[in-house]
Amino acid sequence: MHETNVAAELFEAVRSYLATSAEDIGMSTKIKELGLDSIDLLELLLRLEEKFDIELDVVAFEKCETLGQVAKYIADVK
């Protein structure tokens, strides 16, 4: 799956998880800026695994600082 397609689906999943329609969520959005705690991050990771039908490494996921890095990581795993 191409990184751009992954990014679009990732942004949709993040907006859904945060229950927001924020249009300012993008590739450069820092994960820390989303206000997620460690439990939220794990829940988001599980949702992404289900959405993309993949298994993500928690440590690798936590190393991602931006949503763009998460999109690249997911695209690489796919």
Q: Which residues are catalytic?
A: 37
d(CA 44, CA 46): 5
